[in-house]
Chains A and B, each alone.
Chain A
Amino acid sequence: MSKLPRLTNIYSKVKEDNGGRDYTLLAIEATSPFTYQLGRPDPMRYQVKVTGLANMYTGPLAVQDGILREVTITVKPEESQVLFEVWLEAPAEATVSFTEGLPSRLTLLLSRSPLKDFYCGKRVVLDPGHGGADGGHRGPVNLWEKDVVWKTAQEFSRQLRRLGAEVILTRAEGENPPWEERAGKGEGADLFISLHTHGEGDRKVRGAAVLYPPGSREMEILARAVLERIVSKTKVPGRGIFPAAELGKVKGCPALAIETVTITNWVDEGILRNPYFHRKLALAVLAGFFCTYGEKRGK
């Protein structure tokens, strides 16, 4: 029987190191220590050639966290080799380490400094919709829009603060200020994100949508990019992008309204109970803004 290492797993997550810095961790695991060659054919791609046999599923690993887009895997059985192509979204530097054990693990720690450099010092206004006596839409079981968007806003806020951004919330948990007051907080900001859920009488309708100020081609492009990210990262279907006149009242900064799901749908309401959903959603939106809008305007 072959003594070649058996590759068993690949995964990625955003992790914090001992110094409080965030990294994108990419790990490749095998049943015993393995030899590998690490290359960087261009700034946006690493290649890892591993000697071993693939027991694991070798379909692509989609990540899309603003730094790592995906990893594609090619098996070369005649050479007992597996090639991992690590496609980046930003030219991030990698620190490599190897741990022997069962499993043995090759780890690439990709710096998230491109994302941090982009957001650091930016003022981001988060507008959790509704609030107070205005509950917004209600899910078929029991969730209210005002509560779930508050939870989503907390996750956005946590991630943005970790990236060094200044976060302004348009309301406290029990408040419901008028739209004019909320929109006014966008003045002088770098980004305004209004958080909502959609609601329909038809319980079959589900999915996310992104709304943008009418007449702005730039915001339309951003809205489309953000929606694509949400769909890809959270697996919630997209309902589309739509112009929304009220966003025109947010002056002087890019503004989007995100309908994270359709809360009146049984599945979408259930998804809102999953804490990972809010984290993935925030990551998808912030990565979408960084990868599209960031390139146009720079820091």
Chain B
Amino acid sequence: MTDAEIVELYFKRDERAIQETMNRYQNYLMKVAMQIVGDEQDAEECVSDTYYTAWNSMPDYRPEVLSAYLIKITRQKAIDRLRYRQRQKRQGTEYAVSYEELGDVIEDPAAAGDDSKDDLLREAIVRFLRDLPTDARHLFLGRYFYFDSLKDTAAYCGMSESKAKSMLHRTRRKLKKFLTKEGLYE
């Protein structure tokens, strides 16, 4: 069954949509969830919640790319779950490593959040990513959206780990300058 056919099942409120989604994406979503929460039971719950959210969101929303839509939900649920747990749960996961790397952008891990600029920040990130060279964008998304390891990200971007590491470092510095210029970070 194709993604389009699965989406149609959601739109018809046919409960086979969930089973078909599971058949196709269970392992895929679990992998990303595991890379964030590092615990199989937590990851399973995040993925189950993803199916529930997908069911409730369609037909109001028609995803352009079903896999990307589902992974965004799973990613956020896994991050939310991790934040809910104690800080030490982050250790030993790719999420923890990525989180530390973003210290190049925001140095203080205890920096206060300013919710009032969330919309501006989201829009700015989209612009920043769009203007990045393709390789740099794939690397950045690989590390900070999918939380893939540096080794895996470098491999599917077709470059050495050392080159990927340098490129990511430069991109983080560039992001910091960009956010400062946009008035979103001081």
A and B physically associate: no
Q: Interface residues, chain A, CB within 8 Å of chain B?
A: none
Q: Interface residues, chain B, CB within 8 Å of chain A?
A: none
